Amino acid sequence: MRAAARERIVDSRAAAPRGAGGGRRGIMAQEELTDEERQAILRHIERLREEHRDLDAAIDALLQAGQADRLQVQRLKKRKLHLRDKLSQLEDSVTPDIIA
């Protein structure tokens, strides 16, 4: 399977909402990630972190400029929260389960 197609599969597995039984852990609880899949997820995590930082900077700039449109700021904050949730899901997918 090509790397791009494989990355889309990994992304779609990680994008499933928590608690819905459709996340990577729910579908593939016993299957391990390949090194290629793990690296693809880590690259995606880094891109999302960068976008999260950019949104934070954009929100701060709007608020400091005094020209903050409340609706625009609200949308940016909502997008930032969505990114944080997705980051958590992806980070969970590359963190091994530790049975205590």
Q: Is residue 51 part of a domain?
A: yes
pLDDT band at 2 (very low <50, low <70, confident <90, very high): very low
Provide the mean pLDDT of the chain.
Answer: 76
pLDDT at 13: 46
Size of the chain in residues: 100
Q: Is residue 47 part of a domain?
A: yes
pLDDT band at 97 (very low <50, low <70, confident <90, very high): confident
What's the whole-number mean pLDDT along residues 54-75?
A: 90
Query: How many domains does the chain divide into?
Result: 1
What's the whole-number mean pLDDT along residues 72-83?
A: 95
- The DSSP-derived string for 22-82 is -SHHHHSTTPPPPHHHHHHHHHHHHHHHHHHHHHHHHHHHHHHHT---HHHHHHHHHHHHH
pLDDT band at 65 (very low <50, low <70, confident <90, very high): confident
Question: pTM above the 0.75 mark?
Answer: no
Q: What range does the domain containing 51 cover?
A: 3-94
% of residues, the chain, pLDDT over 70: 68
Q: Is residue 99 part of a domain?
A: no
